[in-house]
Amino acid sequence: MNYNLTIKTLGELKQSGYQSRSVKDELRENLIAQLQEKEGGFEGIIGFEDTVIPDLQTAILSRHNILLLGLRGQAKTRIARLMVNLLDEYIPYIEGSELYDDPFNPISWFGHHEINEKGDNTPIAWLHRSERYTEKLATPDVTVADLIGDVDPIKAATLKLHYSDERVIHFGLIPRAHRGIFVINELPDLQARIQVALFNILQEKDIQIRGFKLRLPLDLQFVFTANPEDYTNRGSIVTPLKDRIESQILTHYPRSIQVSRKITQQEAIIAPAQKLAIEVDGLVKDLIEQIAFEARASEYIDKKSGVSARLTISAYENLVSNAERRMIINKETSTFVRITDFLGVIPAITGKIELVYEGELEGPAKVANLLIGKAIKTLLLQFFPDPEKVKKAKGANPYAEIINWFGDSNTLLLDDNSPFNEYKKSLNSVPGLKELVKKLHPTLSNNQQLLLMEFVLHGLAEFSQLNKGFLDNGFAFSDMFNSLFNLEPDDDLDLDDDRY
């Protein structure tokens, strides 16, 4: 849509040939232009290219109000906010109007009065699309007055108007969003009687405020978001309201590690200094994502609640910061993320999961450790042979030298805070470990080689080939059978320590 910001009066606007469009027509026609130019639209939304986005585009082309339905952390609000980019960059409105009246189709008393009084000299202002987005989080304390409006006795007294005069109304959020996009997040949390107040706006396009015979043909694009969990835990969407929302679009979590990793890398906030000094290998990036996939399948976690993408984002930020902390403590100028650094992601996991009864019995920290362990076990098979299969096979066991060394009553301590040289010396002290990694992955850098050496030890522990004990700041690896026979009465308390 062409516009000229130098236009300042209604007469000039008429002469320019400007034509008004409804919000839904704007969205529709601008989307058509985008599709014709093969532009992506909805930048930053990853993993929905073949599912959610096509459904959303269909709804916009149909001029529908939209309900985005999905578990937490599925980018519902972000999608709604990005719809603003489909609006015209600027639209004209009657200057001074609190409802941003269209100069060609005013709906308020103020708009009608201005045009009746000033005609073509009515002052015109321009509204940017960023100001045409209104968002409200539904909470139990939201009232009809908040959303629709109410009589303002102070305004009536100040202007010396009767309560029957339209000018005494203080408009709520929805009328003030006229000619824009209005979003209600977590719709089921809105009390049923408040949801009822939306019926007329969606169907008849008018509002009702107390006893006023008021009909305001509001021009709005409604977007609602809801979590299926809310339908049973906190509230529900009343059936007549749901019937008036024309398109319901289901969102979902990333369906592959690659997509999940792209989202995390896009959203994680990593300081420039961290990026320069800390090396993060693709293995640990995939491990972070695998934790979320393990959590969504875990018997300890409430599947109805879901596992937000925020888990991997927060966990990745903590992972890098944990490595940075060690670097600072040891006065090193650079470092790389180790498997021991995953101790630092536990706080990011425990705050993002809802446990079922069995999970509560285990405790959130222990469940977090179990998830990390399962992620390591899953990804080990992408880099190394299955320890269980090679143990049963008749051929040579590539892990035999490593396991036998621990079987000779040797132990290995890996401290999360240990400097690089000490970490390297500890891993190199295990016979056969470096040779195994070099044989299967000969082109790795020194840092990658050390990372995979540690990864093998954690993986063997997850496959019950070694014992892994939890220390205050790291891990102790030892022989599986010796650890069982030498177990002291209090030795198993570490796993239940609230810190892990």
Say yes or no: 245 and 264 in one domain. no
Cα gap 74→467, rounded to integer Å? 38
Model pLDDT for residues 11-43, shown as the tens digit of each residue: 999 999 999 999 999 999 999 999 998 876 788
Is residue 1 in some structural domain?
Answer: no
Position 1 scores a pLDDT of 63
Position 462 scores a pLDDT of 96
The boundaries of the domain holding residue 330 are 257-496
Is residue 319 in some structural domain?
Answer: yes
Whether residue 59 is predicted with pLDDT greater than 90 in this model: the reply is yes
Say yes or no: 434 and 328 in one domain. yes
Position 236 scores a pLDDT of 83
Position 493 scores a pLDDT of 39
Statement: the pTM of the whole predicted model exceeds 0.75: yes
Say yes or no: 207 and 273 in one domain. no
For 353-357, the CB contacts below 8 A with 24+ separation are 353/295, 353/301, 353/307, 353/311, 354/301, 354/302, 354/305, 355/300, 355/301, 355/302, 356/299, 356/300, 356/301, 356/302
User: Where is the domain boundary, 233, 250, 267?
Assistant: 250
Q: Are 425 and 353 in contact (CB under 8 A)?
A: no
Position 77 scores a pLDDT of 94
Say yes or no: 65 and 213 in one domain. yes
Amino acid identity of residue 371, one-letter, is L
Say yes or no: 379 and 349 in one domain. yes
User: Where is the domain boundary, 222, 250, 278?
Assistant: 250
Say yes or no: 365 and 427 in one domain. yes
Is residue 326 in some structural domain?
Answer: yes
Say yes or no: 246 and 261 in one domain. no
Whether residue 148 is predicted with pLDDT greater than 50 in this model: the reply is yes
Integer angstrom CA distances of residue 137 from 176, 187, 201, 207:
16, 8, 18, 20
Say yes or no: 168 and 72 in one domain. yes
Is residue 182 in some structural domain?
Answer: yes
Q: For the purposes of burial, counting CB atoms within 10 Å of the CB of 76, is it exposed (0-12), middle (13-18) or buried (19 or more)?
A: buried
Say yes or no: 188 and 277 in one domain. no
In total, how many domains does the chain have?
A: 2
Say yes or no: 130 and 113 in one domain. yes
Is residue 2 in some structural domain?
Answer: no
Listed in sequence order, the residues at least 6 apart from 170 whose beta carbon sits closer than 8 Å to its beta carbon are 145, 149, 150, 151, 152, 155
Whether residue 152 is predicted with pLDDT greater than 90 in this model: the reply is no
The average pLDDT across 41-46 equals 86
Q: Of 464, 484, 351, 347, nearest to 399 (Cα)?
A: 464
Say yes or no: 160 and 274 in one domain. no
Position 197 scores a pLDDT of 83
User: Where is the domain boundary, 207, 229, 250?
Assistant: 250
Listed in sequence order, the residues at least 6 apart from 238 whose beta carbon sits closer than 8 Å to its beta carbon are 192, 195, 196
For 264-269, the CB contacts below 8 A with 24+ separation are 264/288, 264/289, 264/309, 264/312, 264/313, 264/316, 265/316, 266/44, 266/46, 267/309, 267/313, 268/313, 268/316, 268/317, 268/320, 269/317
Position 3 scores a pLDDT of 74
Model pLDDT for residues 418-427, shown as the tens digit of each residue: 999 999 999 9
